[in-house]
Amino acid sequence: MSPSAVAVSAPGKVLFAGGFLVLDRKHTGLVFGLNARIHVHIEQWNPTLLDDVTGNFIFVQSPQFLDARWLYQVTQTSAEDRGVQVEQVQSQVGFTTSANKFVETTLRYGLTYISQTTKGVGGNVKITILADDDYYSQSTRIVQRSGTAFSNFGVSLSDAHKTGLGSSAALVTSLTGAMLAFYSTKSGADGSLPQQTVHNLAQAAHCAAQGKVGSGFDVAAAVFGSCLYRRFTPTILEVVGEHTNPHFGKRLRMCVDDLELEAKWDVEVASHAVKIPNDLILVMCDVDCGSETPGMVRKVLQWRKEKSDEANLLWNALQQGQEELCQELRRLAEVDRIGIQGCKDLGDIILTIRSLVREMSIKSEVPVEPPVITELLDYCTAMPGVVGGLAPGAGGYDAVALLIVNDGEVVQRLRDRLNGWKCSDKEGATIGNVRLLGVKQANEGIRWEEIYQYGEWL
On whether both 134 and 187 belong to a single domain, the answer is yes
On whether both 307 and 246 belong to a single domain, the answer is no
CA distance 234 to 215: 8
Q: What is the pTM of this model?
A: 0.92
CA distance 214 to 293: 11
Helix axis angle for 344-364 and 293-306, nearest 10°, is 80
Phi/psi-derived region of residue 399, left when phi > 0, alpha when psi is between -120 and 50, beta in every other case: beta
pLDDT band (50, 70, 90) for residue 140: low
Q: Using one digit for the tens of pLDDT, what is the confidence trace for 71-88?
A: 999 998 766 677 899 999
**Residue 210 CB partners (closer than 8 Å, separation 6+):** 168, 294
Q: Using one digit for the tens of pLDDT, what is the confidence trace for 414-433?
A: 999 888 787 777 766 677 77
Average the pLDDT over each of 160-169, 298-307, 393-402 and give the range with the smallest value.
Answer: 393-402
CA distance 214 to 209: 11
Which is nearest to 256 in space by CA: 379, 24, 83? 83
On whether both 263 and 376 belong to a single domain, the answer is no
CATH code, domain with 232: 3.30.230.10
Q: Using one digit for the tens of pLDDT, what is the confidence trace for 335-344?
A: 888 877 889 9
Contact 101, 58 (CB under 8 A): no
Q: Using one digit for the tens of pLDDT, what is the confidence trace for 304-361?
A: 999 989 999 999 999 999 999 999 999 999 988 887 788 999 999 999 999 999 999 9
Helix axis angle for 217-224 and 167-183, nearest 10°, is 50
* pLDDT of 1 strictly over 50: no
CA distance 254 to 233: 16
pLDDT band (50, 70, 90) for residue 143: low
On whether both 306 and 221 belong to a single domain, the answer is no
Contact 161, 140 (CB under 8 A): yes
CATH code, domain with 398: 3.30.70.890
- Count of domains observed in the chain: 2
CA distance 319 to 325: 10
Question: Which residue type occupies 149?
Answer: A
Structure confidence at residue 288 (pLDDT): 61
On whether both 224 and 333 belong to a single domain, the answer is no
When the pLDDT of each residue in the chain is averaged and rounded to a whole number, the result is 88
On whether both 313 and 185 belong to a single domain, the answer is no
Q: Which residues pair with 86 in a beta bridge?
A: 74
CA distance 65 to 380: 33
Contact 400, 392 (CB under 8 A): yes
Task: Count the helix, strand and coil residues of the chain and give each as a percent rounded to the nearest 5.
Answer: 40, 20, 40
On whether both 222 and 118 belong to a single domain, the answer is yes
On whether both 260 and 160 belong to a single domain, the answer is yes
Rg (CA), the chain: 22
The domain containing residue 381 runs over which residues?
A: 280-440
On whether both 215 and 189 belong to a single domain, the answer is yes
On whether both 252 and 235 belong to a single domain, the answer is yes
Tell me the pairing of strands 125-131 and 56-61.
Answer: parallel
Percent of the chain past pLDDT 90, that is, above it, reads 57
On whether both 97 and 196 belong to a single domain, the answer is yes
CA distance 257 to 245: 19
On whether both 309 and 264 belong to a single domain, the answer is no
